[in-house]
Structure 1
Amino acid sequence: MNLEALHIRVRTLLAAASLMVVAAAFPAAAADLASPDSPRADGSTAVARARVAADVLMGSYDPNKAWFPSSWWNSAVALQTIGDYMRRTGDRRYLGELDNTFEKDKGAFPGGVLSGDPLLGNFTSRAIDDSEWWGLTWVQAYDLTRNPKYLDMAVTIANYVDGFWDTSTCSGGVWWNAERTYKNAVTNGLWIRLTAELHNRIPGDTVWLSRSRTAWSWFQNSGMINANGLVNDGLTNACTNNGQNVWSYNQGLAIGAGLELWRATRDPGILASVRQLADAAIGPNALVTNGVLSEACDVITQTCDDNAKQFKGIFMRYWTDLVDTTHNPRYAAFLAQQAEGIWNNDRDAAGRLGTRWSGATGNDHPNVFDWRTQASALSALVGNVPIVTPQESLAATMSPAQPVIMPAASGITTIAIDLGASATGFFPLQALASIDVPAGWNVTPRATMLRLQPHGNAMPVSSTAPLTVTVPSSATDGHHMVTANVAAAGLYFNTQADVLVAHKIDFDTGTVDEVPWLFDPDGSQSNGVQNRFADGNAHFTYRFPLPADTTSAQVTLTIDAEFVVQVSSDNAHWTTVLQETRRITDGSNKADRTIDLTPYLGAASNGAKPVYVKVSDAFPDDGWGGRVYHVTANIVE
């Protein structure tokens, strides 16, 4: 027997033995070891969780436009978060996406293409803070690759920003915009961090260090830090604290700016100021609610806008830096608490992470899940990965993670689910998966092995195993969990598929109730409850797995703007059933429009007659594609 075969055999026996011993000795513990409700994750599990969340985030990356849809500065932050993830875990799969963005988006673009503002080239625009976010992103890319083009771009951006440092108003500070109307915390926190990062990477530099020192001194004395040690949004025209909201990202940037400058100077006074900012952030009446980092807009009566969705993640990026730098156990405990809370309370079966890290939701202001909230929460998961990356990790996912079935009056319905496992390390693994289904359901196989042969951390390897879940016609409406507990040589991970059983179709778009029906979101967007739209070449497709005994069906869309609606029985051959022929951008054509699905009912397969409904843009050139608010259906069986 060769060495590799021996490793495989040993690890297979260890995996099987560990699972059998746990299951026999502690009947409920086998699932608990991999449960999302178990105690703080160890290092290997933290890596696996971050990998699952990072993969979900990158599923929203648009390789053609080389960004995340419809948000310029948010895209910079999301890419920097992926850079944080790669640097922390050793995973290098997404270096190509960083370079794709650099090469495709470094030119000039008119307003409305990648940003509402015209882009001037080299990732600069009239929005000075947007330019700085991109500067930090390219410093991160340089750290990952040591390719000097990224650092050169960061210098180019910083030189542009330096032109907006102005001592004639408020004695200093960088203007927020090219019109020079506002001096605020975010722009100046970014400036201190960017200039200090450049100094710490350019041998022999004195210029950037001088600028960073000057900016830090100005910021400390600007008045933006209030009496409680919290950073308000900016300054009035009279150069006093404007008393506007204390956003978490302003506090985090102040912490991160000081830390990077401290690394450049080793000035103990700077580190002392950083600690004061940190203590204030997690102190009474600050940024924490019941132990959870929260924005003012996270309350259940509000919804954070697309900007605020990413603020907490920026805070956690620099809080992680604080933990790594100070090794303060109180700071470390707070970081771990956020990561554990997100994973336990703010994650759905598809691995999506929401805007409220407590998981709180409501009908009028639901917990929102999108790529911005994903990037934000991912920063906390990345921070929970140990500095010394564990050599081995095991993660698992299910696809589809949120299937929907509509059972017929009699008979059974089957669902095909792929169980996937991914791993890093240096030895072959045999992962043993045990599958649990609700009472009265069946799954084949009940247990399966997945062979994984990792070769380091840079390129996690994966394997899949097919599962067939059988659902009885008596299954009650609602959500039902299919759970896989995966184990291999002391590594454990839990994953679930959230199966929705439904006898009717009735949902608002932009809510969690829409998700199981949303077969392909493509590049569509949602800005809140009753809002999903597809602009340009984007579209979104709903899949309705109508019961096998359906004889006729109609679906009603509340829709407006410049829509095209198509229907298919196979997601391949499409028939246009609705189209707006006028250029309407004011919502004046909003109406309930009913589509007869009966002609598209094919032969039943696996207990269902699936029909696909796709919405796209009738005039892709003007950015007002079809917008759907509500979906209902009438089904005759």
Structure 2
Amino acid sequence: MKLEALRIRVRTLLVAAALAVTATATKAIEPVYPTNPRVDGSTAVARARVAADVLMNSYEPGKAWFPSSWWNSAVALQTIGDYMQRTGDRRYLAQLDNTFEKDKGVFPPGVLSGDPLLGNFTSRAIDDSAWWGLTWLQAYDLTRNPKYLDMAITIANYVDGYWDTSTCGGGVWWNAERTYKNAVTNGLWIRLTAELHNHIPGDQQWLARSRTAWAWFQHSGMINAGGLVNDGLTDACTNNGQNVWTYNQGLAIGAGLELWRATRDPAILASVRRLADAAIGPNGLATDGVLTESCDAATQTCDDNGKQFKGIFMRYWTDLVDTTGDNRYAAFLEQQAQSIWNDDRDAAGSLGTRWSGATSDEHPNVFDWRTQASALSALIGNVPIPTPMTSLAATMSPAQPVIMPAASGATAIAMDLGATATGFLPLQTLISIDVPAGWNVSPRAAQSRLQPHGNATPVSGTVPLQVTVPSSATDGHHMITANLMAAGLHFTTQADVLVAHKIDFDTGTVDENPWLFDADGSQSNGVQNRFADGNAHFTYRFPFPADTTSAQVTLTIDAEFVVQVSADNQHWTTVLQEDRRITDGSNKADRSIDLIPYLGAPANGSRPLYLKVSDAFPDDGWGGRVYHVAATIVE
């Protein structure tokens, strides 16, 4: 077995050796590894890179955040920081700095957060403020720019103002109104203060605060008899029995690990292990070995907050694996990464909220930037240390094309196979393409020479493909597979071609994805729901058959909408517009549009039409919201 496949973690061995003897002694330890199959290190890097690139496609450089979510954006940016730190890829440092410079000021409610932002990434939400503190410590680790460390200190000083011993003997309040003491805020506080101590030479103040907070948390009652962390405390300062969210468990583990690094107190590490063992025990947080949030049940849908909880758990679980070298913890991490990649990923590299891949009609598996950031954390953790310098990854574009074949004649799809690589030696990459029976692709085999220069900026290359779909192709999903090999590396990527003779889908579901040409800042916060506020919009592409003689689309739509159509995605005609300021959904209705006057000339077997929805009144945040799209077509 290759050395990389053994995932030998240098820092892990050093720490484990120290634990085995004393805090100052060292001793070689023979690692024990799980017996389940493991992905090789180079492939783990490649998978993380593909997923990170998909996440950053949702980053909005103008507002310098991810759409419509303040604390979630902090966590997503910290995840990208984790990715860069783990892999050596440094392409997204500019986005971190863009957010720092653009969003550090004062903002009224509704601009970046529902709360007013007080400056320096603080607000009435104390936990939100602490998330940003951790994000800027991550940026400092990556760049050593002191402005990031200074900001983290500023934020921590703000949070410290909400430590209060007059209620429940201690703990940080969750909000500025001082109504609730909970696990997330205090887990964040312990981690943040311990990290500050470990970043500031000679510090004693932050260490003392972290020790005090840890001791209070351990005896607060939030950790139940089973070793799991409930959400918070009642007004009577007892465990409120509310849900055991994965991120609370993960933060408790991460808080203890950072404080252990500061103190080398074995009692702290023992407490961390109890929390970890409870998480993966028979009454823990996994179902069939896969980390599962309570809202991942087939009868539920996670809200926008819950979508990111498991990723936070995995960030600190990765720290646990790195720190202890325990093969049980490593095996659990590996299982999450494998399940995500094999069962919870679509052809576009999007990762869903249910890592098992489970779905249902009423509560489908959801894919968005929050779920992407969450699952990415497990893929990052699966990258071994030391990081393999050489890797090969690939994607196809478009990854989810739609074909609506004419009654006769073939339909052509122009696609690009993009490959990326890291390393220091040229890679002569051999490529083979597989298509369904009766389909054609040109070229079927190709070579691409990639010349990487390290891993800070992966090098890329593109091979154009021409796929021909026969008119006899059956409706449904058809996979095009590209296999790449170079110097012992291999990677497989796919495109998922939807062949359809009708258009009928709910928005906010996986059925919408192939038709969604450009999401452009639009949002979906539930099944049958996509909306575009302010200057955002979303565009569907309908590749009607070349012999289409009649086409009508019906939208179930409400709020302050503008609907436009185009044959070329450049010249637009407004076909529907709400001229009233309606924010309560009272104008929800089915509205139909005759599309024939707007279809372009037949080309490559289709007559494409683009349909764009935007906001009639960008100033008030109630843009067009679509629930269902259907079209009738006559050929």
Give the match for residue 13 of structure 1: none
CA displacement, residues 167-200 of structure 1 (integer Å, 9 cap, x when unaligned): 0000000000000000000000000000000000
1:419 is matched by which residue type in structure 2? L
Alignment of 1:244-393 (within 5 A): 244-393=242-391
CA displacement, residues 188-247 of structure 1 (integer Å, 9 cap, x when unaligned): 000000000000000110000000000000000000000000000000000000000000
Q: Distance in 2 between matches of 1:388 and 1:50?
A: 15
Q: 2:122 aligns to what SS in structure 1?
A: coil
Give the one of 191, 194, 197 matched to 1:196. Answer: 194
Alignment of 1:49-64 (within 5 A): 49-64=47-62
- TM, length-normalised to structure 2: 0.94
2:352 is matched by which residue type in structure 1? G
CA displacement, residues 562-608 of structure 1 (integer Å, 9 cap, x when unaligned): 00000000000000010000000000100111111101122111100
Alignment of 1:360-509 (within 5 A): 360-509=358-507
- TM, length-normalised to structure 1: 0.94
Give the match for residue 153 of structure 2: 155
Q: Cα distance, 1:436 vs. partner?
A: 0.2
1:620 aligns with 2:634: no
Q: Cα distance, 1:451 vs. partner?
A: 1.5
Matched positions, count: 600
Q: Distance in 2 between matches of 1:103 and 1:450?
A: 39
2:628 is matched by which residue type in structure 1? H
Give the match for residue 65 of structure 1: 63
CA displacement, residues 115-141 of structure 1 (integer Å, 9 cap, x when unaligned): 000000000000000000000000000
1:43 aligns with 2:38: no
Give the match for residue 77 of structure 1: 75
Q: Cα distance, 1:40 vs. partner?
A: 2.6
Q: Cα distance, 1:264 vs. partner?
A: 0.3
Alignment of 1:23-38 (within 5 A): none
| Identical residues among aligned pairs (%) | 86
Give the match for residue 522 of structure 1: 520
Q: Distance in 1 between matches of 2:403 and 2:39?
A: 34
CA displacement, residues 408-429 of structure 1 (integer Å, 9 cap, x when unaligned): 0000001011001000000111
Give the one of 104, 112, 115 matched to 2:113. Answer: 115
Give the match for residue 591 of structure 2: 593
CA displacement, residues 291-329 of structure 1 (integer Å, 9 cap, x when unaligned): 100011101000000000000000000000000000000
2:107 is matched by which residue type in structure 1? F
Q: Cα distance, 1:528 vs. partner?
A: 1.3
**Where in structure 2 are there 5+ consecutive unaligned residues?**
1-35
Q: 2:582 aligns to what SS in structure 1?
A: coil
Give the match for residue 28 of structure 1: none
Q: 2:484 aligns to what SS in structure 1?
A: strand
Q: Distance in 2 between matches of 1:476 and 1:554?
A: 23
Q: 1:200 aligns to what SS in structure 2?
A: helix
Q: Distance in 1 between matches of 2:445 and 2:369?
A: 33
Q: 2:199 aligns to what SS in structure 1?
A: coil
Q: 2:156 aligns to what SS in structure 1?
A: helix
Give the match for residue 174 of structure 2: 176
Give the match for residue 630 of structure 1: 628
Q: Distance in 2 between matches of 1:453 and 1:197?
A: 38
2:138 is matched by which residue type in structure 1? Q
1:342 is matched by which residue type in structure 2? I
Q: Distance in 2 between matches of 1:601 and 1:222?
A: 66
Q: Distance in 1 between matches of 2:321 and 2:289?
A: 17
Q: 1:198 aligns to what SS in structure 2?
A: helix
Q: 1:262 aligns to what SS in structure 2?
A: helix
Q: 1:525 aligns to what SS in structure 2?
A: coil
Q: 1:177 aligns to what SS in structure 2?
A: coil
1:213 aligns with 2:211: yes
CA displacement, residues 38-92 of structure 1 (integer Å, 9 cap, x when unaligned): 9531000000000000000000000000000000000000000000000000000
Q: Distance in 2 between matches of 1:603 and 1:172?
A: 71
Q: Cα distance, 1:531 vs. partner?
A: 0.2
Q: Distance in 2 between matches of 1:567 and 1:296?
A: 42
1:401 is matched by which residue type in structure 2? A
Q: 1:391 aligns to what SS in structure 2?
A: coil
Q: Distance in 2 between matches of 1:186 and 1:110?
A: 25
Give the one of 533, 536, 540 matched to 2:534. Answer: 536
Q: Distance in 2 between matches of 1:394 and 1:627?
A: 40
Q: Cα distance, 1:450 vs. partner?
A: 1.4
Q: Distance in 2 between matches of 1:387 and 1:225?
A: 32
2:599 is matched by which residue type in structure 1? L
Give the match for residue 8 of structure 1: none
Q: Distance in 2 between matches of 1:507 and 1:324?
A: 44
Q: Cα distance, 1:430 vs. partner?
A: 1.2
**Where in structure 1 are there 5+ consecutive unaligned residues?**
1-37
Q: Distance in 1 between matches of 2:104 and 2:480?
A: 45
Q: 1:386 aligns to what SS in structure 2?
A: coil
Q: Distance in 1 between matches of 2:291 and 2:40?
A: 22
Q: In angstroms, what is the RMSD of aligned CA positions?
A: 0.7
1:167 aligns with 2:158: no
Alignment of 1:5-20 (within 5 A): none
Q: 2:396 aligns to what SS in structure 1?
A: strand
Q: 2:524 aligns to what SS in structure 1?
A: strand
Give the match for residue 24 of structure 1: none
Give the match for residue 511 of structure 2: 513
CA displacement, residues 306-362 of structure 1 (integer Å, 9 cap, x when unaligned): 000000000000000000000000000000010011000000000000000000001
CA displacement, residues 385-426 of structure 1 (integer Å, 9 cap, x when unaligned): 001010100001000000000000000001011001000000
Q: Cα distance, 1:383 vs. partner?
A: 0.1
1:148 is matched by which residue type in structure 2? P
Give the match for residue 233 of structure 1: 231
Q: 1:115 aligns to what SS in structure 2?
A: coil
2:504 is matched by which residue type in structure 1? D
Q: Distance in 2 between matches of 1:319 and 1:568?
A: 49
Q: 1:430 aligns to what SS in structure 2?
A: strand
Give the match for residue 14 of structure 1: none
Q: Distance in 2 between matches of 1:398 and 1:76?
A: 29
CA displacement, residues 468-510 of structure 1 (integer Å, 9 cap, x when unaligned): 0000000000000000000001000000000000000000001
Alignment of 1:540-559 (within 5 A): 540-559=538-557
Q: Distance in 2 between matches of 1:541 and 1:389?
A: 40
